[in-house]
Structure 1
Amino acid sequence: AESGPGERDRAETGSADGVSRAAVASPAAAVVQVHSLADPSLVTDVPGLWAGADHFGPRAQVDTLLAVRRAARVWPPLARLLERRLPDVLPLSEEELYDLLGAAAGRLGAAGVTVHWPRELTRGLTATAVVRPAPGTAADNFDFFKTEELLEFRWQLALGDRPGDPLTEAELDLLAEAHRPVVRLRDQWVVVDPELVRKARKRDLGLLDPVDALSVALTGTAEVDGERVPAVPVGALAGLRERVTGDLAAIAQPPGLHATLRDYQLRGLAWLDRMTSLGLGGCLADDMGLGKTITLIALHLHRAHPAPTLVVCPASLLGNWQREIERFAPGVPVRRFHGPDRTLAGLTGGFVLTTYATMRSSAAELAARPWGLVVADEAQHVKNPHAATAKALRTIPSPARVALTGTPVENNLSELWALLDWTTPGLLGPLKAFRARHARLVEGGEQAENDEAMVRLARLVRPFLLRRKKSDPGIAPELPPKTETDHPVTLTREQTSLYEAVVRETLARIEASKGIARRGLVMKLLMALKQICNHPAQYLKDGALTTRSGRPRSGKLELLDELLDTILTESESAGAVLIFTQYVEMARLLEAHLSARGVGAQLLHGGTPVARREEMVDRFQSGEVPVFLLSLKAAGTGLNLTRAGHVIHYDRWWNPAVEEQATDRAYRIGQTRPVQVHRLITEGTVEDRIAELLAAKQALADAVLGDGGEAALTELSDAELADLVALRRAA
């Protein structure tokens, strides 16, 4: 009924049988009793509509009749009220009552007419899709990724005020057999939606495989007959959901770790421990510089598994892994499974480090060994599930798998599928089904549909992927303003051959020389070795950055690519990299290499005009250019480049004060983010030896730190010089 003038009040009339009339009363409202002709007992008498209505005003009857007439234009059955002497009771057929319960109520509401149902009449019958282990399946220790058992999927109905007390099978049968819109359930009348009757009749929705069941459990929704409906897990599946989505329990730092983990690293350790102990695996996708390596080392110590941990990483990161393990977990065995003399004989525990290329060629040998944990570092290398490397990695069994990457998604969601399908096989289902169910909706489509798909996908993958950024509120305060990292890198076979040949030939000439000639030869030797460590193309001046087959000629350049791929993908760091080298010719090679890879870069050196220098600084500071290549001497002082969050020293200067001045181009007043400094050092070479001496501040370090720099090294004896430049092989 439509309200007229005056104060609005609601009035209801009761009945002895507990259900009868639905109405809205107002100063000029018609009280409409609704009943079904199929159940005459529901009809009760009420006082005359107009009795005692004088206080509503002289126009109450007229306004009410006009309101009923307007409402009848929206819902024709109301016109029958106008045929009665008093518009007090309107008998309805089942079809009309169904209509009033559904679409008609909406149309009336839109027209300003509200339908009120008595409190005694419960409309809140709800249906929820539930997933539970099928009959005969053990509820405990149900392995959702290895079992071939299916899970039961069916409708569960409950009264609105009792969601935790679903209808019994007998009550569902009663509802399914109902042919009236009002049913007596649990001593009360219930208005029944015809759609719920259909669900009661067809309550079994079939069986789900474990992957689809887990997806339902984590997203809270399921698709039934083309419609997305709420869904809940029951039993063991509900228990698994609670374990992977619940709050993390506090975890203590393992006693064997020679470091102090920050709070966010302890949380990462607790998360990794939970996922690996459940046999589910996970992807730690923290930003570069947040300590993924040390967190993984802590996980190895915490698990104390008798079987070794296998780490698969790019060749350029082998040295870094070995040094980090030796630094933070001294005494833990670490072995490189790499090179022609690699072997797994006598392996008992600790860490085994290998490269993606070696893993691919030796997958059968690695798969034959028991591993306590398999780790894929820079796991974006296996983002293509159809590539040989990814296929080989999947053949290595392990009770737990962890992917480490700062860039879990670079181009499309299929890359995310590849990572999580390796860490937790079967989690996201087959790739084709995943793309149909999630990726196509997220990557394209209508905005509303896109947002809904994003929410569902996030609920599904969030428990299996831990992503923290340096800019996160809980992490930024814990970071130091400047972090310095030495990145050891292995020479390529070509670099090794060149290095050893130059050392052998030049040392022979030095031993036969004296005075100024000898000093000149020493300087020439050091220069040649540093160029070889940078790139064979710099030493040979042949301009070829890769071999004819496309393989990298320089371990440093390969590592630089790894760093840049990660840095430039991180949103807060994009376009914020300074690369220093002391050689202009090396900077030109890097510029050509980055240009070929499609990475925008600009080069500043001693010959750059002043006006051009200022223009280049402005372009970098405004974000137009992602990478700034700089000659150490020309750009080591006097520039303000605070947009950079990363500084990479491609080669080492003998005097660290010069490097620090270069770093201060970014780490200076005006900088608003932590600065990460990366020094690339070739393992076992003169670069490595000088770095050790500088860090240890031994006797020779004083000479290197002084103004003499490289010149001081010319005064070393033949034996000392030979020891300095000799190539040390990795153990």
Structure 2
Amino acid sequence: MKFTPKSSSSCYLGLTAAGLVKVTFPFDAVTQAQLRKVRPRGIWRGTRQGWEFPLVAAQHLQRQFGSRFLVQDDLAQWLSWFEQPLPPMPPHRDLVSYADLEVVLTDGRRPLPHQCSGARWLLARRGAVLADEMGLGKTLTSLLAARAMVRCADVRVMVVAPVGLHDHWRIEAASLDLPVCIHSWARLPRELPAAGTLLLVDEAHFGQSIKSRRTQALLRLARHPRLRAIWLLTGTPMKNGRPDQLYPLLAAIDHPLARDQRKFEERFCQGYWRDQGGQRRWLSRGASDLDALGKLTRPLVLHRRKQTLLGLPPKRRQEHRVVLTESESRGFDHRLALVTDNYRHRVQQGLVRSDAESLAVLTALRQIAAEFKLPAVETVVAALLAEGQAVVLFSSFVGPLLLLQQRLGGELLTGRQRPGQRQEAVNRFQSGMSSLLLATYAVGGLGYTLHRARHVVLLERHWTPGDVDQAEDRCHRLGMDGGLTSHWFQLGFADQLVDSLIASKAERIEVLLGSRRVGLKRQPLPVMLRCCMQESLRTVSS
């Protein structure tokens, strides 16, 4: 079936960017009523976008409407593949035997026991989330399982990973003599080979926004009829503590909970309709019933902790409350007053209406605090370097890192560098050529092994617990010598607010992935910011 260009009066069946069936037609009540009866149910997106149905409804839609609706080429190809399914995989016990989990790798390593058990767990599931903590070797675990599938059937292994991690994946795959095809998150293919593909998705939390293009591109691959299996790798499956971020991952592995997005959001995201400016909007950014969500997802989400499996040296957090001189305090209060006065003016004018305003103000306050903390941070870092310690320092802002590099030297790791330059900086640090690495959370907290450092300094904290854990765990991982001290510098109410947010969101994540029950007491960000702004206004005025 060929698709002809759409006209204003055309009716057609096609695929959305996320691999769902799209039904578009000039609105008429009869067709609308017929589509409402289709099962599984679809979602009406309005007259411009039409209906969206799960892929399992494609054949039914073709039978019922194929005589009246044109079928796009990509959907026609997928329908033909459904009629010629891939042959089944061997039983689980045969797959495990082909994995050769006890065999020494070509580089002389032997897989650790938890990596072998993780590989066996993956081989029992077509879709799964390997959510082990950072530093447990999820890459090798997934490749061990992938090698078994390749040995048993005609399977291609496709890896999706950030560009900075491609070399790591190539090295690990080479240790298993396993051919892999690696794609970046920015350039995902639209189709898979006809023979069948195993999809390994590293840093899967990159796909936690259901509306982003890369998430939709991932879901299209996850729903492809030539997909053998999909295994998602992430140490932070609910990075910001919100179930709506977990939903796309569950949809990618075809978890039953994700087959009805609206029901998922009503139950776990406090979803509700709200009238705004004469329009009804569906809001679903809350969190509820996390105990049940954890129990229902546990069969397909494997989360294990380093302390339990490896017995790593402890990680200790040390708080440093920065005390400013009198002149510094005047300058700090003046900078805060400019931001708070502007915020108060916007509140009085009725211009503050969204979370975006709150986040913008909070970011400005964090950046001001970061600048005023630099002298205290420089003193602590210089003392550690004088003792011969290796130090990694993280910040959300490039400016303070550049200033510290001018004063202390060291390697820089930011998004302004090419991937090769970043790896060279990491290599110089790990080899001992430099004892200080200055990194942004967005770059340094992603995929690099920095276990030479026994001290990590967080100039300020990112408000996402996953980013904070990722940064610390770049150093706290297998192969480190001694314990890790994480230095948290705190100045002013902005740092207090962010640290309280981290603790609150971490509680949600613990409820979902942890074994113990945690009570939740959390206010929305705008409310928390408003309270802190009032406290700041009292401080500045006094």
Taking structure 2 as the reference length, the TM-score comes to 0.36
Larger radius of gyration: 1
Taking structure 1 as the reference length, the TM-score comes to 0.27
Structure with larger RCO (C-alpha < 8 A, sep 6+): 2
